[in-house]
Chains A and B, each alone.
Chain A
Amino acid sequence: MDKIARVAEKFCFLDNIPLGMFVLEKDYVVLFWNRCLEEWTGIHRNKIVGTDITFHFPYLGKPKYSTRLQDIFKGGPPTIFSSQLHNYVIPSIMRNEIYRIQHTYVTPVQANKKKDFYALFAIQDVTDLTRRINDYRTMRDQALEEVKGRKRIEDELRKTHEELELRIKERTADLISLNEHLQEEIFERKRAEKKLVATKTYVESILANSLDLIITIKKDGNIVYTNRHLDYETGYKREDVQGKYIMELIPEHLKEFMLKKLKDLNEGISGIYETQIIKADGTPMDCLISQAPVEGFDEFIIAIKNITERKKMETELLKAQKLESVGILAGGIAHDFNNLLTAIFGNISLAKMYMMEREVYNHLVEIEKASLRAKNMTQQLLTFSKGGAQVKKITSLDELIRDSANFALRGSKVNCDIFISPELWHAEVDEGQISQVINNLIINAQQAMPDGGTIQVQADNVTLGSDNVLALKAGDYIKISVKDHGIGISEENIQKIFDPYFTTKPDGSGFGLSTAYSIVKGHDGHIKVESKPDIGTTLYIYIAASPKRFQLKQKDPAFIKGRGNILVMDDEEMVRFVTGKMLYQLGYEVEFVKNGDEAIKVYKQSKKTGKSFDAVIMDLTVPGGMGGKETINKLLKFDPGIKAVVASGYSNDPVMADYKKYGFSGVVCKPFTLSELGQILHKLFESKAD
């Protein structure tokens, strides 16, 4: 058996192994070629066994293989030809036209007892494994690439995210800052809005509570706004006038004037002026208007103050001023007239003394009576002038009422029924003034009944409680009523009858009831009226009763003569003359001076010469010179025991009412009669003697 056959027999089992296996001799001759290699290479063992393998595969002869195979043939250690470094040892093309990848182990196999070795090649097909691994690698590398890409993307995303985060942070910071700014703005705006609302409320409150009527108008004069005061002042409802043309509220005669004011407003000119507006009831309302443009608006503000009352007061003040002027005039006239009457009275008294012829005497008596009435008239004038204090004394109103009523109705065709309570209380009054009140009321009642009739005068005692409707202090009062059955007073006029100058009579002065009102109020009393047209009028007077007892008047005594040296001071020559004559008739010696300076000088001289005056009669008022009030002050310093009598036509002067307070010992009102002068001096010297 040859060598090839032996080797084939020896390695035949390798045909069944799924590895490519062949055996080489050291001269590279193939000794065995298994079935697997036949399939792989398509080379049948009959073709290759016994041939040099480099004939089939020349590269196997190269050192890359030969050097390593040399050791194998010497029995050296096995050798590996890895698939990755060699791809294949025996080329084998597969169906898919690619080479089979092979991992090859070469192991020495002892050939014989000699130290010869064959090389046994065992070739493992790792094509599929390699493909799988390559696929795996590709897949893995792709995965890694993807991972890298993803990581890169993630990095980019992270970077972008970080940038975004940064931008978001910056933007957030900006937004926070903006938000804070906005919050501040919102806060400021809210505060401003709150303040605006508060200001609006404040302004509305001011406007609403303003006592003035405030309106705003557009340029065309249409009313935009009115405050609540509108209704109160004018009677219009706010909704009635809003949108209305303001000229519709202006009286016809003032429209031209108001149009000019409206034009002023449109030219930006403010102003304050008086005008009138027509109220809802059609009556005019005097008003003071302050107008101005509203800054920032095409509107104008017009503040309207109702000055109707003020205008009325101004009118009343004007009347009062007129009245005061008339009063001053009346007082002056009364004073001068009293001086004249003093001369007339004095002369009549003296004439009566000398006149024995009865008829002439009677005429003188009548003249004296007329002069007495003239004196009463001057008293009324002085009362009207309201220039002085009342001269009050305890009085029986019974006699006063009767005398006054009868005097007023003397010669009239109107009758008077007088009902006086028998136990009528007394009162502390100025007789002249209360007499004048009664007189005025009777005259009014008489004039209310031009066709005649009966006036009812009544006087009663009444006691008022603290809750009386007359607003009088609680206490005892004398209630006097004067009732007529005349034409009555209309409701419209009844509130005005006590106003000065108010009269419904063509020739009336408007002083009668206003004077009565003034006098009664001056006595802390009350006067009121009740009247119905065509039925009649009743006037009531309440005068406080006095607990003091009334002393009956003593009858005038005859001329009371006396002795003494009298100094008479008066600026009026005729008064000095007649007074001197009267004093002479009364038994006194007289010297005259014109004013206070002369009086002081003469009085002091008389003291030095020892022929001092027992009394001084001084006129209270000396035009352009020192009057009685100032003179007595100076004389009292010189002679505290001086007896002085003040004489004046101003019978209601405070000095006359309270003469002792000013240093005088007596008072005599001009005009005075011989009898009155004698009584005053008698009284003066009586007290001196006391």
Chain B
Amino acid sequence: MQHWLFPPDSASKLVTVLTGEETGTPDIDSVRAGTLGEVGNIVLNGVMGSIGNILNQYISYSLPTYLEDSLENVLFIYNIVPPPNTLPLVRIRFMIQQLQIEGDIILIFEVGSFTVLLKLIETIK
């Protein structure tokens, strides 16, 4: 499971930069959520594609969905991943200094998946 997390201001700024629209309110409506979904799709495809290439494996994953809430709610209240079976693996913090945009990419694995991943990595060695 991969999550791309933005503070609202950074998400809004990112959309504004990409679309060239005038700076307005930081609200994320469904149109802008769609834009963020495309951006997330590109980024995740890049990340997951890279991992798949390294592992020489096909990795199947779904289209990103947009959720707007606190991190805690996003992870636990929406039951994206049942807590007992999750294991945070990677947290990548990125910053686009010129645009003052920052965010996190978090990879969450189920316990079984993580074991498979470790084995695959071992195979590469």
**Residue in B19, B25, B31, B48 whose beta carbon sits within 8 Å of that of A126 in the complex:** B31
A81→B37 CA distance, assembly (Å) = 9
- Flag if A144 contacts B38 (CB, 8 Å): no
With A84-B15, A137-B24, A141-B24: A129-B44 Cβ-Cβ less than 8 Å = no
With A80-B37, A82-B38, A84-B19: A133-B25 Cβ-Cβ less than 8 Å = no
**Residue in A76, A78, A79, A129 whose beta carbon sits within 8 Å of that of B31 in the complex:** A129
Q: Report chain A residues within 8 Å CB of B63.
A: 77-78, 80, 105
Q: How many B residues face the partner with a CB closer than 8 A?
A: 27
CB distance from B2 to the nearest CB of A (A): 11
A105→B58 CA distance, assembly (Å) = 20
Q: Report chain A residues within 8 Å CB of B62.
A: 78
Q: Which of B38-67 touch A at CB < 8 Å?
A: 38, 41-42, 44-45, 48-49, 58-64
Q: How many A residues face the partner with a CB closer than 8 A?
A: 24
CB distance from A66 to the nearest CB of B (A): 14
Q: Report chain B residues within 8 Å CB of A85.
A: 18-19, 35, 38
Q: Report chain A residues within 8 Å CB of B18.
A: 84-85
A579 at the interface (CB under 8 A from B): no
Q: Report chain B residues within 8 Å CB of A144.
A: 24-25
B13-44 CB contact bits vs A (8 Å, 1 = yes)? 00100110000110101111011011001101
A75 at the interface (CB under 8 A from B): yes
Once A and B bind, how many residue pairs between them come within 8 Å at the CB atom?
A: 68
With both beta carbons as reference points, the residue of chain B lying nearest to A130 in the complex is identified as B31
A80→B15 CA distance, assembly (Å) = 15
Q: Report chain B residues within 8 Å CB of A79.
A: 41-42, 45
Max chain B CB contacts within 10 Å: which of A84, A105, A129, A130? A84
With A136-B29, A144-B25: A82-B44 Cβ-Cβ less than 8 Å = no
A24→B105 CA distance, assembly (Å) = 32
Q: Report chain A residues within 8 Å CB of B15.
A: 84
Q: Report chain B residues within 8 Å CB of A653.
A: none
Q: Report chain A residues within 8 Å CB of B44.
A: 77
With A85-B19, A126-B31, A137-B29: A77-B38 Cβ-Cβ less than 8 Å = no
With A71-B45, A71-B49: A82-B35 Cβ-Cβ less than 8 Å = yes
CB distance from B84 to the nearest CB of A (A): 28
A131-142 CB contact bits vs B (8 Å, 1 = yes)? 001001100110
With both beta carbons as reference points, the residue of chain A lying nearest to B45 in the complex is identified as A77
With both beta carbons as reference points, the residue of chain A lying nearest to B58 in the complex is identified as A75
A68 at the interface (CB under 8 A from B): yes
**Residue in B30, B48, B64 whose beta carbon sits within 8 Å of that of A133 in the complex:** B30
Q: Report chain B residues within 8 Å CB of A216.
A: none
A81→B59 CA distance, assembly (Å) = 21
A78→B38 CA distance, assembly (Å) = 10
Q: Report chain A residues within 8 Å CB of B37.
A: 80, 82
B59-88 CB contact bits vs A (8 Å, 1 = yes)? 111111000000000000000000000000
Q: Report chain B residues within 8 Å CB of A103.
A: 34
- Flag if B38 contacts A76 (CB, 8 Å): no
A227 at the interface (CB under 8 A from B): no
11 contacts between A and B (CB under 8 A): A76-B49, A77-B48, A77-B49, A78-B41, A79-B45, A80-B34, A80-B38, A82-B34, A84-B31, A103-B34, A126-B31
Given contacts A79-B41, A80-B41, A84-B15, 16 further A-B contacts (CB under 8 A): A77-B41, A77-B45, A78-B63, A79-B42, A79-B45, A80-B34, A80-B63, A82-B31, A83-B35, A84-B31, A85-B19, A126-B34, A129-B30, A136-B29, A137-B29, A141-B24
On A, residues with C-beta under 8 Å from B are 68, 71, 75-85, 103, 105, 126, 129-130, 133, 136-137, 140-141, 144
Q: Which 4 A-B pairs have the closest CB atoms?
A: A82-B38, A82-B34, A80-B38, A84-B35
